[in-house]
Amino acid sequence: MIKATHNYFFYLIFFSLSFFNAQVEQIDSLQKKLKIETIDTSKIKLQLFISNAYFGVQVDSVYKYASLALTFSNKINYAFGKVKAFDFLAQYYWSTGDYETSIEHMHQKLAALEKYNNKNEMALTLGNIGLVYHSQSEYEKALEYYFKALKIEEDLADKEGIARNLGNIGSVYLAKQEWNKALTNFNKTYQLAKELNDQRLQITALNNIGALYFEKYQFQKSLDFYTQSLAIIEKHGAKSLGSTTYMNIGNIYLYIGDSLKKTSEGQLEANKYYSKALQFFTQSLRLANESGDINVLANSLGYLGELYISLKLYPKAEENLKQSLVHANTIGDLGLIKLQHLALSRLYTDTKKFDLALIHYKKFISARDSIFNEANTKKAVRLEMNFEFDKKEAATKLYQEKKEAIAASESKRQQIIIWSVCGILVLGLAFSVFVYRSFLQKQKANEEILKQKDVIEEKQKEILDSIYYAKRIQTALLPSEKYIDRSLEKLSNKT
């Protein structure tokens, strides 16, 4: 069956890395600059550049430099540095399979983003959380975060973001075999991609629709959509995006050819499809080698090996299957390892090399059991992770509610203090007005008393002056005693 690669799975996870374009060969140069840099924010940016450059090269160094950037960003409270450091650390933990810690760091990134309300980056981060859950087949959780991201993108009227999230939502429904919902979302993605003239999104949407119809065994419809995708690739010279499309088309022709070969009448027709399959697998291999896409390279080699088995070209089949197995072991893809051992077992059975056939069949069983055990382990880990994560969310919610209650209580206390102070000020002002008014009244009464005193004093003065005047008159009219005595004496002498 076709291995449909949904490009959305990795497009969002690594989207935030597009801010930094540091290449592997630049690491030494960046480290030299870091040693002499003195400005804190510039140091942090260099640490992030170096961390990004180590992705796909040396994963431990990704962690080392992102952690340094986070430490320094916390020290100087550098929001941008914290956001990017959390982002890189989340991707580091995701790449190492520590999904719980990856999600924790993405939530920390969200908290940092909320402080300066960066909606675009918040939507990307929510989408990335959805991708982590998606990669673990936690479909309901994945949908929850995809829809949260979609809501923000719709509020921002960001058509590219809307298209990406619709594609991711469609991929979940495809995995759940909810065909109608998946198709609706893929069609919306394609229409938006056309409006935006975004060839990458158009190719991805068409590939997803092709994968959907292949899952439903509607091979001609599947081929129609892959062919449309291929037309865009060839028209715009975007052949680096076409390795998956060429591989998927080749696999359709291989599948149809194997179906036709079952009857003697169909053998000739089957060879026509095998010829087409060979053409497309060869092209897919060339493009995968050019782009360095090991996953597509390993799958294309495996499909090519199976094609050569169908054509009974066993030496070529063995060569391609072994190369595919080497790449599968390199990337640790147990599913692909299992398939290649099964194909090699079939090859050696057809060529009567039964000892080798048995060896590879046993390895196929071992890989299958490892996948089963790993799946069970991952399921147990997921259950534990979900339990712990729910506990942490509950604790966080309780802490937040407590924090809000304390804040509300503090706010109420502050309000009481403010109103009390205002009341005291008002009473003080009223008392001051009362005192001032009493003072004015007293002052006015004193002025009246002084006026009355002046009037009384004036009256007293007038009375005294009158008395003195009358006394003077009386004194002037009455003769003195000496005058009377002299007059009496004169009288008496005359007599």
Residue 419, pLDDT > 80, answer no
Q: So what's the pLDDT on residue 224?
A: 95
Average pLDDT over the chain, rounded to whole?
79
- The more confident residue out of 100 and 431 is 100
Nearest alpha-carbon partner for 243 in 187, 164, 299 = 299
pLDDT category of residue 234 using cuts at 50, 70 and 90: confident
Residue 175, pLDDT > 90, answer no
Digit-coded pLDDT (tens) for 279-322: 999 999 998 888 777 888 899 999 999 999 999 999 999 999 99
Neighbouring residues of 169: CB distance < 8 A, sequence distance ≥ 6: 143, 146, 147, 150, 185
Q: How far is CA 167 from the centre of its chain?
A: 18
Neighbouring residues of 288: CB distance < 8 A, sequence distance ≥ 6: 243, 247, 294, 296, 297, 300
Of 374-378, 428-432, 483-487, the one with minimum mean pLDDT is: 374-378
Of 77-81, 350-354, 422-426, the one with minimum mean pLDDT is: 422-426
Residue 267, pLDDT > 90, answer no
- Residue 273 within any structural domain of the chain: yes
Residue recorded with tokens 């430490």: 71
Q: So what's the pLDDT on residue 379?
A: 46
Residue 73, pLDDT > 50, answer yes
Of 58-62, 109-113, 380-384, 451-455, the one with minimum mean pLDDT is: 380-384
- Residue 313 within any structural domain of the chain: yes
Alpha carbon distance 473, 159 (integer Å): 124
- Residue 47 within any structural domain of the chain: no
Digit-coded pLDDT (tens) for 74-84: 999 888 898 89
Digit-coded pLDDT (tens) for 361-407: 999 999 888 766 644 444 434 444 444 445 455 555 565 666 666 76
Q: So what's the pLDDT on residue 60?
A: 82
Q: So what's the pLDDT on residue 171?
A: 92
Identify the sign of the CA torsion 486, 487, 492, 495.
Answer: positive
Q: So what's the pLDDT on residue 207?
A: 92
- Residue 276 within any structural domain of the chain: yes
Q: So what's the pLDDT on residue 163?
A: 95
Token pair for 446 = 């004193």
Residue 428 Cα distances to 202, 434, 438, 439, angstroms? 75, 10, 15, 16
Please state, for a pLDDT cut of 90, what percent of the chain lies above it: 38
Digit-coded pLDDT (tens) for 28-60: 788 778 888 778 888 888 888 888 887 766 778
Domain count, the chain: 1
Alpha carbon distance 299, 297 (integer Å): 6
Digit-coded pLDDT (tens) for 13-34: 333 333 344 455 677 788 778 8
pLDDT category of residue 147 using cuts at 50, 70 and 90: very high
Q: So what's the pLDDT on residue 492?
A: 60
Q: So what's the pLDDT on residue 481?
A: 54
Judge contact between 165 and 146, C-beta under 8 A. yes
Neighbouring residues of 412: CB distance < 8 A, sequence distance ≥ 6: none
Q: So what's the pLDDT on residue 435?
A: 65
User: Containing domain of residue 246, as a range?
Assistant: 242-352
Nearest alpha-carbon partner for 169 in 155, 156, 194, 188 = 188
Q: So what's the pLDDT on residue 400?
A: 63
Residue 160, pLDDT > 50, answer yes
Neighbouring residues of 179: CB distance < 8 A, sequence distance ≥ 6: 173, 212, 215, 216
Of 107-111, 242-246, 353-357, 388-392, the one with minimum mean pLDDT is: 388-392
- Residue 306 within any structural domain of the chain: yes
- Residue 226 within any structural domain of the chain: no
Q: Spell out the SS3 assignment of the chain.
A: CCCCCCCHHHHCCCHHHHHCCCCHHHHHHHHHHHHHCCCHHHHHHHHHHHHHHCCCCCHHHHHHHHHHHHHHHHHHCCHHHHHHHHHHHHHHHHHCCCHHHHHHHHHHHHHHHHHCCCHHHHHHHHHHHHHHHHHCCCHHHHHHHHHHHHHHHHHHCCHHHHHHHHHHHHHHHHHCCCHHHHHHHHHHHHHHHHHHCCHHHHHHHHHHHHHHHHHCCCHHHHHHHHHHHHHHHHHCCCHHHCHHHHHHHHHHHHHHHHHHCCCHHHHHHHHHHHHHHHHHHHHHHHHHHHHCCHHHHHHHHHHHHHHHHHCCCHHHHHHHHHHHHHHHHHHCCHHHHHHHHHHHHHHHHHCCCHHHHHHHHHHHHHHHHHHHHHHHHHHHHHHHHHHHHHHHHHHHHHHHHHHHHHHHHHHHHHHHHHHHHHHHHHHHHHHHHHHHHHHHHHHHHHHHHHHHHHHHHHHHHHHHHHHHHHHHHHHHHCCCHHHHHHHHHHHHHHC
- Identify which of 57-71, 140-154, 237-251, 477-491 has the greatest average pLDDT: 140-154
- The more confident residue out of 461 and 12 is 461
Alpha carbon distance 40, 53 (integer Å): 20
Q: So what's the pLDDT on residue 187?
A: 96
- Residue 471 within any structural domain of the chain: no
Judge contact between 347 and 317, C-beta under 8 A. yes
Write the CATH number for 344. Answer: 1.25.40.10
Q: So what's the pLDDT on residue 29?
A: 80
Of 15-19, 232-236, 320-324, 467-471, the one with minimum mean pLDDT is: 15-19
- The more confident residue out of 99 and 160 is 160
Angle at 247 between CA 244 and CA 252, to 5 degrees: 125
Digit-coded pLDDT (tens) for 114-145: 877 789 999 999 999 998 888 777 889 999 99
Alpha carbon distance 210, 179 (integer Å): 12
Residue 454, pLDDT > 70, answer no
- The more confident residue out of 482 and 314 is 314
